[in-house]
Structure 1
Amino acid sequence: MGNDGEVYNQFKYLLKRFVQQAEANIINNNRSTELGLEGFEKNQYKKIHNYTSISISNIEYQVHLFNSGSYGPKNGNGLTTLP
Structure 2
Amino acid sequence: MRYGSQDGAAGADSGGTQGPGGELTVPMAWLYAEYIADELLRTGDLMPPTSFEFRAGRDALALTIYLSDVSDELSGIRVVSQL
- TM-score by shorter chain over 0.5: no
Higher strand share: 1
Higher helix share: 2
TM-score by length of 1: 0.29
Report which structure shows greater RCO (CA 8 Å, sep ≥6). 2
Which structure has the larger Rg over C-alpha atoms? 2
TM-score by length of 2: 0.29
